Amino acid sequence: MTRWGLIGASTIAREWVIGAIRANSGEVAAVMSSDAARGAAYTAENGIARSTTSLDEIVSDPDIDAVYISTTNELHREQAVAAARAGKHVLCEKPLATRLEDAIAMRDEAAKTGVVMATNHHLRNAATHRAMRAAIAEGRIGRPLAARVFHAVYLPEHLQGWRLQRADAGGGVILDITVHDLDTLRFVLGEDPEEVIAFAQSGGMSAEGIEDGVMGTFRFRSGLIAQFHDAFTIRYARTGFEVHGTEGSLIASDCMTQRAVGDVVLRNEEGQAPIEIDRVGLYERGVARFHAAIAGKGEPAATLEDGIWSLASGLAALQSTRTGRAVRIDPKL
């Protein structure tokens, strides 16, 4: 059984990841919060045995095998590096950091200490995206030419905090949502992006200088172009993910979400047909793959390198919105 320490008394842990750990027979042994009272309340609310305010204490706890980091993004590097140095495996939230060099330092520490360090890009685990990846790899749409990602949502009120207010914490829709789009594109298409161009918007929700909406285009190595629309401000849109190839199109609906929902259809000269998919929980599958990786069985669903690619792409998109120019993506791997 894997014994976990949570670094961060966060909403994502409470709503999804604690349940996913327990569904995989893992134990949530402790939580670290920077605030003792919040940590104590969190342990009571979530049935966790103990809390601490000390990073050193949680990473050196001999009864913990792995940590899940879901603090705000500027804190991930220090916490991940400390955990790896103490020999703990690390599942870290996206974006891995606010600067590329921080994420690279995390990767280097994991390589040095031999721990498993992974990124919690949950959308790779969605049945919709796995089915599209398989269909493309089998050649069912011929040569993919274009993709479109619809990921404009309404940020729930209880999350309208640092994402809208704190640039230093990696606030803004690009580091929050565009990084997921890019990771899902890399996963589904099986190739890497080369450059990005984007326009951002402040639609009235975010603080000055922080974007709450963005549209842009990634260009991939094969020449494929992929359009994305991400927002915190759109209440009634549907999410979706489409890939269009020379012989067919794959169209997924309601798939850019935390829940195990959504559908995929294949359209080609024979008409339109649904693709059969399973309904496995996205976070459950992510934790299962992480546990397996610790046991030496395969890779995590999203590796740290995958998180570095999505961070580098998000930072490039952000730079493009500021300069008005296409920006090359270099993850420095």
By DSSP bridging, strand 240-245 and strand 144-152 are antiparallel
Interface map 108-147 toward ligand NDP (x if CB under 6 A): ------------x-x-------------------------
> Does 73 help bind ligand NDP (rule: CB under 6 A)?
yes
Q: How far is the CB of 3 from ligand NDP (least distance, A)?
A: 19
What's the CA gap between 92 and 43, in Å, rounded? 20
Shorter beta-carbon distance to ligand NDP: residue 150 or 283: 283
Stretch that binds ligand NDP, among 71-79, 193-201, 207-215, 305-313 (CB under 6 A): 71-79
Stretch that binds ligand NDP, among 30-38, 103-111, 210-218, 290-298 (CB under 6 A): 30-38
Those residues with Cβ within 8 angstroms of residue 163's Cβ, 6 or more apart along the chain or in another chain: 155, 171, 172, 173, 176, 206, 232
CB atoms within 10 A of CB 13: 25
Interface map 257-296 toward ligand NDP (x if CB under 6 A): -x--------------------------------------
From residue 165, alpha-carbon distances to 72, 208, 257 in Å are: 12, 8, 23
Shorter beta-carbon distance to ligand NDP: residue 77 or 122: 122
Q: How far is the CB of 71 from ligand NDP (least distance, A)?
A: 4
> Does 161 help bind ligand NDP (rule: CB under 6 A)?
yes
Q: How far is the CB of 265 from ligand NDP (least distance, A)?
A: 25
Q: How many residues lie near ligand NDP (CB under 6 A)?
A: 22
Shorter beta-carbon distance to ligand NDP: residue 135 or 255: 255
Shorter beta-carbon distance to ligand NDP: residue 71 or 321: 71
> Does 203 help bind ligand NDP (rule: CB under 6 A)?
no
> Does 247 help bind ligand NDP (rule: CB under 6 A)?
no
From residue 140, alpha-carbon distances to 36, 124, 289 in Å are: 54, 20, 27
Q: How far is the CB of 194 from ligand NDP (least distance, A)?
A: 25
> Which two three-digit tokens encode residue 244?
């269009």
Left (φ > 0), alpha (ψ -120 to 50) or beta: where does 41 sit?
A: alpha
- CB-hemisphere CA count at 13 Å for 286? 27
| Amino acid code (one letter) for 205 | M
What's the CA gap between 237 and 242, in Å, rounded? 15
**Is the Cβ–Cβ distance between 182 and 310 less than 8 Å?**
yes
Shorter beta-carbon distance to ligand NDP: residue 122 or 289: 122
Angle at 177 between CA 213 and CA 66, to 5 degrees: 155
Contact footprint for ligand NDP (CB under 6 A): 8-12, 33-35, 38, 70-73, 93-94, 120, 122, 159, 161-162, 176, 258
